[in-house]
C-alpha cells in the first residue's frame, strides 16, 4: 500500500506525468536544479529520505549512501549510472535503478544527426551564412565526407550502439565494432557488423569512431592520443556516452593538429564545463548532453524511474522489477 510516510527526494524537476505517479507513494521534495551537485549537499539532507530520484550529475558516493539511513532505492534518471557507487549500495541493501531501453531510439537518431552535422560541416556553414559571407553557390565551399561506403567503428555495441549502427546501415555505411562481449551472430548478421577484439586494429579501419560504452575504470580515457593517432586523418569521432571515455586534452590536440578531421561531442568529462581547447578546436560540434532529449523519451525515462521507486516502496519483490541494477 502507498504510504504518505515515505519521503522521496527528486533532485530537480522532471516530467509532470512521472511526478503525478510518484505522489501516490509518498511525500515528494523536488529540489531546484543544481541543489545536489556535490556529495556534501546531499549528505546533510539524505537521512530524511526513503527514496532518491537523481540525475546523472548527482554524485551518489559511499558517504551519501552511508548517510542515507532510511534509503531503500536510488533511481537514476539516466541509463548510465557511473555517478552511483553500486558496490556500496549493494553492501547496504539499497536498490539502484536506471532507465534502459526507453532512450535507445532517441539516442540512435541523435548520434546519426551528430555524424551528419559534423561530416557535412553544418555548424561552420551556418555561421558563414549568418555572418553575411554567403554570396552565392560555391563549387568548393564546405566540402565534407560522404557516408556511403565508409566504415563506422563502434566501441560499445549495446542497445544504443546498435541503434546507431542500424541508422548508419541505412546510410550505406559498413559497421565494425568492439564490445566487452561479442554480440550474437544474429545481431552481427543483421547489422553486417565485423567484430574486432583490439581497439587499435578497429581504429585503423574506421572513417568514423563512435564511443557508446559505459564509463568504467576500464573505459576511462579509452580514446587517448595513441588511439587517436591510429585513426586515419579524415576520421570523425562521435561521443554520446560519457565524456571521460575520451582524454579530452588528447582529442583537442588531435583536432588542432589535423590528426583527425572532426568530432561531435554531446558529453564532457567535467560537465557542465568543457575543456577550453575543445571550445576552440576546428570542426568540433559540442552540445549540452541532449542525446535523449525528446518529449517522449524524457517522459518515459521519468516513468521508468518512478515505477522502480514505487515498486520498491510498495514491497514488490526485486526480481519483478526489471530496471534494478542491484537485485
Ligand atoms: C543517459 O541516460 O545515460 C544519457 O547520458 C542521457 O542522454
Q: Is the CB of 80 under 6 A from ligand 1?
A: yes
Q: What mean pLDDT value characterizes the chain? A: 97
Tens-digit pLDDT profile for residues 85-111 = 999 999 999 999 999 999 999 999 999
Tens-digit pLDDT profile for residues 272-289 = 999 999 999 999 999 999
What's the mean pLDDT in 72-77? 98
Whether residues 12 and 64 fall in one domain: yes
231 pLDDT exceeds 80? yes
Whether residues 172 and 34 fall in one domain: no
Q: Provide the sign of the torsion angle of the four alpha carbons 295, 297, 303, 305, taken in this order.
A: negative
What's the mean pLDDT in 135-152? 97
Query: In the chain, how many domains are there?
Result: 2
Q: How far apart are alpha carbons 269 and 178 in whole angstroms?
A: 22
**pTM, to two decimals:** 0.97
Ligand 1 geometric centre to CA of 142 (Å) = 32
Question: What is the predicted pLDDT for the residue at 136?
Answer: 97
Residue 239 belongs to what domain range?
104-286
Whether residues 128 and 238 fall in one domain: yes
Nearest CA to ligand 1 atom 2: 78
Whether residues 126 and 255 fall in one domain: yes
Question: What is the predicted pLDDT for the residue at 5?
Answer: 85
Whether residues 93 and 119 fall in one domain: no
| Residue 229 counted as domain residue | yes
CATH code, domain with 186: 3.40.50.720
Q: Per the structure block, which three cell numbers stand in for 149?
A: 561506403
4 pLDDT exceeds 70? no
Ligand 1 geometric centre to CA of 102 (Å) = 11
Share of the chain above pLDDT 70, in %: 98
Bridge partners for 29 per DSSP: 9
Whether residues 184 and 222 fall in one domain: yes
Burial of 139 from C-beta contacts in 10 A (0-12 / 13-18 / 19+): exposed
What's the mean pLDDT in 302-314? 97
Q: Is the CB of 79 under 6 A from ligand 1?
A: yes
| Residue 312 counted as domain residue | yes
Question: What is the predicted pLDDT for the residue at 1?
Answer: 47
| Residue 51 counted as domain residue | yes
What's the mean pLDDT in 229-254? 98
Share of the chain above pLDDT 90, in %: 98
Amino acid at each position: 500500500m502507498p504510504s504518505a510516510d515515505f519521503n522521496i527526494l527528486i533532485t530537480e524537476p522532471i516530467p509532470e506525468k512521472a511526478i503525478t505517479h510518484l505522489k501516490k507513494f509518498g511525500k515528494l521534495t523536488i529540489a531546484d536544479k543544481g541543489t545536489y551537485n556535490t556529495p556534501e549537499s546531499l549528505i546533510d539532507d539524505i537521512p530524511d529520505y526513503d527514496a532518491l530520484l537523481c540525475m546523472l550529475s548527482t554524485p551518489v558516493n559511499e558517504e551519501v549512501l552511508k548517510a542515507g539511513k532510511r534509503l531503500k532505492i536510488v533511481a537514476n534518471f539516466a541509463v548510465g549510472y557511473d555517478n552511483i557507487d553500486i558496490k556500496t549500495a549493494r553492501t547496504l541493501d539499497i536498490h539502484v535503478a536506471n532507465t534502459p531501453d526507453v532512450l535507445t531510439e532517441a539516442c540512435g537518431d541523435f548520434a546519426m544527426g551528430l555524424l551528419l552535422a559534423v561530416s557535412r560541416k553544418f555548424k561552420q556553414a551556418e555561421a558563414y551564412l549568418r555572418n553575411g559571407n554567403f554570396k552565392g553557390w560555391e563549387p568548393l565551399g564546405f566540402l565534407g565526407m560522404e557516408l556511403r561506403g565508409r566504415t563506422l567503428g563502434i566501441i560499445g555495441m549495446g542497445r544504443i550502439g546498435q541503434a546507431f549502427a542500424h541508422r548508419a546501415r541505412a546510410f550505406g555505411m559498413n559497421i565494425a565494432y568492439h564490445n566487452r562481449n561479442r554480440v550474437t551472430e544474429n545481431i552481427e548478421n543483421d547489422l553486417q557488423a565485423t567484430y574486432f577484439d583490439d581497439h587499435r586494429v578497429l581504429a585503423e579501419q574506421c572513417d568514423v569512431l563512435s564511443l557508446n560504452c559505459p564509463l568504467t575504470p576500464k573505459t576511462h580515457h579509452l580514446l587517448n592520443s595513441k588511439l587517436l593517432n591510429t585513426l586515419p586523418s579524415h576520421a570523425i569521432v562521435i561521443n554520446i556516452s560519457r565524456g571521460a571515455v575520451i582524454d579530452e586534452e588528447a582529442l583537442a590536440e588531435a583536432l588542432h593538429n589535423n590528426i583527425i578531421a572532426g568530432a561531435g561531442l554531446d558529453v564532457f568529462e567535467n560537465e557542465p564545463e568543457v575543456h577550453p581547447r575543445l571550445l576552440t578546436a576546428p570542426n568540433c560540434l559540442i552540445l549540452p548532453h541532449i542525446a535523449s532529449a525528446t518529449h517522449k523519451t524524457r517522459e518515459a525515462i521519468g516513468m521508468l524511474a518512478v515505477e522502480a521507486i514505487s515498486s520498491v516502496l510498495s514491497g514488490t519483490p526485486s526480481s519483478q522489477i526489471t530496471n534494478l541494477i542491484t537485485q
